[in-house]
Structure 1
Amino acid sequence: MQTRLTGVVQAWDTSHALLFCPAMNTGMWQHPLTAQHVTTLKGIGYIEIICITKKHVCGDEGKGAMADVSNIVNTVKQ
């Protein structure tokens, strides 16, 4: 089954940059499938805005939180 995000990525005009900002709880971030998905996107040439470590809404503390908005904005401007 195709997800909405996959559909957007497949329809993306590849002459334009695509940046992605992973955001999930630490358990999801550490799952091997997540690493494979990030590697696949980067292999296509998409640009990762690296997630950060912090306390998540679910109570977990660790890597996986979305990058700070200022970091995202600065990366997009570059």
Structure 2
Amino acid sequence: MTQITLAVTGSISAYKAADITSQLTKLGLEVKILMTPAAQKFITPLTLQVLSKHPVGLDVLLEDDPKRIEHIDIGKETDLFLVAPASANTIAKLAMGLADNMVTSTALALPTTTKKILAPAMNTKMLEHPATQRNLDILKSYGYQIIQPREATLACGDQGTGALATVDTIIQTVKENCL
């Protein structure tokens, strides 16, 4: 069975991870979820655990099974690493190789051959900032496929590009990469 690791980061769009998880499991994919501390402010781990039928990885320093180093083993087992939504903060950490939470530590431990997809979601000005654009370029050079955010009225009320791609677009991209 194909294993997808869905990394959820701190964005108002984090609630869409429930729909993404549900749709991926309906396709017969095994979905393991990782969450940043900020993501847990937007959606509860329990919601994603129920939908994925797997415990949610929350703390890189919490090792329940002495036979496993969770972030290393997840990296070895995953066929596709999907970051959706990807906040500007997590994008910056991934680009710089920081490993201070379950998402970033697992990403850094991925084999170079693992398929990686990132779906940014943030305010337009944050997305257009030269630092974010540079970080996205760096991630592309690391092999990340970027699903472009869409134009919409954002959570802050601004109109512009930065909304998470539609769930259908994300699911279609995953299907193209592993089914």
Q: TM-score, normalised by structure 1?
A: 0.89
Consecutive unaligned residues of structure 2, counting only runs of 5 or more, are: 1-92
Name the amino acid aligned to 2:169: N
Name 1:47's counterpart in structure 2. 145
Whole-angstrom distance in 1 between the partners of 2:152 and 2:110: 31
Deviation at 1:13, TM superposition (A): 2.6
Deviation at 1:64, TM superposition (A): 0.9
Consecutive unaligned residues of structure 1, counting only runs of 5 or more, are: none
Question: Root-mean-square deviation (CA), in Å?
Answer: 1.6
Name the amino acid aligned to 1:54: A
Deviation at 1:7, TM superposition (A): 2.1
Deviation at 1:12, TM superposition (A): 1.8
| 2:178 pairs with 1:65 | no
Q: Which has the higher contact order (CA 8 A, sep 6+)?
A: 1
The SS at the match of 2:160 is strand
Aligned counterpart for 2:135 among listed residues 37, 49, 52: 37
The equivalences for 1:16-31 within 5 A come to 16-31=114-129
Whole-angstrom distance in 1 between the partners of 2:157 and 2:132: 20
Deviation at 1:6, TM superposition (A): 2.9
Higher strand share: 2
Name the amino acid aligned to 1:77: K
Deviation at 1:14, TM superposition (A): 2.4
Q: Alignment length, in residue pairs?
A: 78
Name 1:14's counterpart in structure 2. 112
Rg larger in 1 or in 2? 2
Identity %: 37
Q: TM-score, normalised by structure 2?
A: 0.41
- In the TM superposition, structure 1's runs of 4+ consecutive aligned residues that sit over 4 Å from their partners are none
Deviation at 1:46, TM superposition (A): 1.0
Name the amino acid aligned to 2:104: T
Deviation at 1:25, TM superposition (A): 0.7
Name the amino acid aligned to 1:70: D
